[in-house]
Amino acid sequence: MATHKLLLLPGDGIGPEVMGEVKRLIDWLNSAGIAKFETDTGLVGGSAYDAHKVSISEGDMAKALAADAIIFGAVGGPKWDAVPYEVRPEAGLLRLRKDLALFANLRPAVCYPALADASSLKREAVEGLDIVIVRELTGGVYFGEPKTITDLGNGQKRAIDTQVYDTYEIERIGRVAFELARKRKNKVTSMEKRNVMKSGVLWNEVMTQVHKREYPDVTLEHQLADSGGMMLVKWPKQFDVIVTDNLFGDMLSDIAAMLTGSLGMLPSASLGEVDVKTKKRKALYEPVHGSAPDIAGKGLANPIAMISSFGMALRYSFDMGDLADKVDAAIAAVLASGLRTADIKSEGTTAASTTQMGEAILKEL
């Protein structure tokens, strides 16, 4: 059995708690002889700042580069609101994405039937919802230069951020979306603001070309990002795969996640390109939810998104689709049994702490 190297980066807030439940699962997989994971742990975000005054240390970056996959919790919180911009908690996550070239962020927005009523949307609008947002993750306004604040004198400052996209960056994220759509309902909706942004014009042009040249069998639609956002709220089930840039993807995937009523349940995968020699790809898996500092340390956090992110790692990094299916089934079974953490509690269900939820899923497995 091959040994897989995992780097666990719990981060801040509820990160360590939910990561604890993944650790429990990994230990069991190892001891039951189902898989062989070698785990190491590192600091990222506010916890790295508290320890070393950085958002991630060079040592942990080296571990990240050497790992087969990174399992990431969450970063940030008001505690670090005043730290210098360069070492703010989010910088650690952004550096991981950039230095590992994790350009493809897959964010499924699935409405768990048992939780349809937790959505602020009507049941009929979200029941059975199953879409994926494919977000470009290493380009756009997140990393473009110049990115500066300049003092102009007279009490005036000027802030600049730069949105940059090259053809190849749009092509490769397009391919990820089209490939994914082929395994799903065969439809891709590309979203940009070509009526205002030059990057939107190029995005639209390149998506159209990639489609025509390589994926004519997939349905491609284009939507302006603002009306796309509206359509997401109005009738999300019209979508299958949505492909969009880094910043629009940030907004749209959060909104899509919130629609489902299952925010504490949603995983994500950030993938690099497949290496031609090793056939491997760098990857980082993290829940869609944030660090939720307000409930941290209270055993209230829902570990399902984190466990489900580990499930995505099994599927995308380790070719253990069967085991991933079993993890998904265990989560569904525990939910069906009525167990709920505080965020998804409703009448007639049984309250569970973070640990109780993690243990129940493991027992089901």
Ligand X SMILES: CC(C)[C@H](C(=O)O)[C@@H](O)C(=O)O
Q: Which residues are the active-site residues?
A: 142, 193, 226, 250, 254
CA distance 260 to 125: 9
Of 264, 239, 243, 252, nearest to 128 by C-alpha is 239
> Are 342 and 288 within 8 A, CB to CB?
no
For residue 346, state whether it binds a second copy (rule: CB under 8 A). no
Interacting residue with a second copy among 141, 300, 323, 332 (CB under 8 A): 141
For residue 251, state whether it binds a second copy (rule: CB under 8 A). yes
Q: How many residues bind a second copy (CB under 8 A)?
A: 59
For residue 226, state whether it binds ligand X (rule: CB under 6 A). yes
Of 75, 67, 40, 43, nearest to 56 by C-alpha is 43
141 makes contact, choosing from a second copy, ligand X, none, with CB < 5 to 8 Å by partner type, with a second copy
For residue 112, state whether it binds a second copy (rule: CB under 8 A). no
50 makes contact, choosing from ligand X, a second copy, none, with CB < 5 to 8 Å by partner type, with none
- Which distant-in-sequence residues (6+ apart) come within 8 Å of 107 by Cβ? 132, 133, 134, 135, 249, 253, 256, 257, 266, 268, 288
For residue 343, state whether it binds a second copy (rule: CB under 8 A). no
Interacting residue with a second copy among 35, 83, 101, 197 (CB under 8 A): 197
Judge whether 216 is annotated as a binding position: no
CA distance 261 to 310: 21
Region of 338 on the Ramachandran plot (φ > 0 left; ψ -120 to 50 alpha; else beta): left
Q: For residue 111, give both structure tokens.
A: 């409405």
Interacting residue with a second copy among 35, 101, 255, 332 (CB under 8 A): 255
Q: Is 51 helix (H, G, I), strand (E, B) or coil?
A: helix
For residue 127, state whether it binds ligand X (rule: CB under 6 A). no
Q: Select the span of 27-35, 60-68, 88-96, 298-306 touching ligand X (CB under 6 A).
A: 88-96
Amino acid at the residue 235:
W
Interacting residue with a second copy among 35, 83, 201, 332 (CB under 8 A): 201
Which strand (E) or helix (H) includes residue 90?
helix 89-99
Q: For residue 219, give both structure tokens.
A: 């349905």
The footprint of ligand X (CB under 6 A) covers 76, 90, 93-94, 195-196, 226, 250
The footprint of a second copy (CB under 8 A) covers 76, 85, 88-90, 94, 120-122, 125, 141-142, 144, 147-149, 152, 155-168, 193, 195-199, 201-203, 225-227, 229-230, 233-235, 247-248, 250-251, 254-255, 257-259, 263, 290
Binding site feature residues for substrate: 97, 107, 135, 226
